[in-house]
Amino acid sequence: AKVYTDTANTYIQSRYLANTSGTFGGNLSIAGDANLTSYVTIANSTFDSANHALVQIIGSTGAAIATPAAQGYMLQIVGIDGIPSRVINTGYGANTYGLFAGRHANGTAASPTATSNNDVLARFSGGGYNGSAFTATGQGRIDIVASENFTTSNTGSRIELWNSRQGSNTLVKIASFNADDVIFTGEV
């Protein structure tokens, strides 16, 4: 690749990506801001899902990351060392809110089929480093689970709380909530 030292040629070279489509090999590094006025689509079903996330946002010193603990990482965010890592979603205006939603269907993206009884619809999990690795499922989680086979008129669900007892690394369901009852495991 040529390196241009004068401003006019640098400007001309930077315009090669403007108002065009194409396939670009190699890496693209942006030193400044990238201001997009359209959509960003990343379509890649062949990335090495066992060892990498498809998209990574890394703020740690030296871009250090922990290897994914399971397959299927689509987005991995690593915060700045010594500072809480935050993901913020803000809605403004009447009847708006920040939404975090998990959705589930059986089948494939091209040919989805109905959700079945006991399928996990969404999960929020928290986990800590055990001295050698992060676990794939974490040590505590909240699951939203189908309580029946889904149809257009039946979508029963429940919320389950799971955690590990002290002195154990096994997840145990400690509570289940649905529209009719609440079930607790252990003392209340």
Which residues are CB-neighbours of 65 under 8 A, at least 6 positions away?
56, 58, 76, 78
DSSP H or E segment with residue 7: helix 7-14
The single residue listed with the structure tokens 């929020």 is 124
3-state SS, residue 183: strand
pLDDT at residue 14, rounded to an integer: 56
pLDDT at 21: 73
Which pLDDT score, from 0 to 100, does residue 37 have? 82
Look up residue 180 and give its two tokens.
């009719």
Say how many residues make up the chain.
188
Contact predicate 162/140, CB 8 Å: yes
pLDDT of residue 58: 92
Q: In which element (H, E) is residue 75 found?
A: strand 75-78
Looking at residue 8, its pLDDT comes to 52
For CA atoms 90, 95, 39, 42, the dihedral sign is positive
- Residue numbers of the chain with a pLDDT score lower than 50: 1-4
In sequence order, the 6+-apart residues with CB closer than 8 A to the CB of 123 are 102, 141, 142, 143, 144
Q: Distance (Å, rounded) from C-alpha 161 to C-alpha 62?
A: 37
> Does the predicted TM-score (pTM) go above 0.85?
no
